[in-house]
Amino acid sequence: MSNNRYPQFLFWCRRQIWIRLMDKARSLQAAYDEGAEKNNAIFYAGLTEAEILQFENKLRRILKNYEETERYEK
């Protein structure tokens, strides 16, 4: 993505990295989505929506802990 295409956006979101899928990757998207859906069905089988949300919130907290630790170790 060139800087002159979205200059105002890049000014506000400098920490974001934009990527574009090439044709080959786009052709694999449906297979990836199907596999991800099957995986999620197995992974979350028997859990309520509330349990899923609690679990995912805990994972976010764990990730945040790692990110903070990584920042302080540099």
Distance CA 39, CA 45 (A): 10
pLDDT tens for residues 13-23?
567 777 888 89
Structure confidence at residue 4 (pLDDT): 54
pLDDT tens for residues 24-52?
988 999 999 999 999 999 999 999 999 99
Of 19 and 5, which is predicted with more confidence?
19
Q: What angle do CA 24, 28, 30 make, to 5 degrees?
A: 140
Predicted confidence (pLDDT) at residue 1 exceeds the cutoff of 50: no
pTM: 0.55
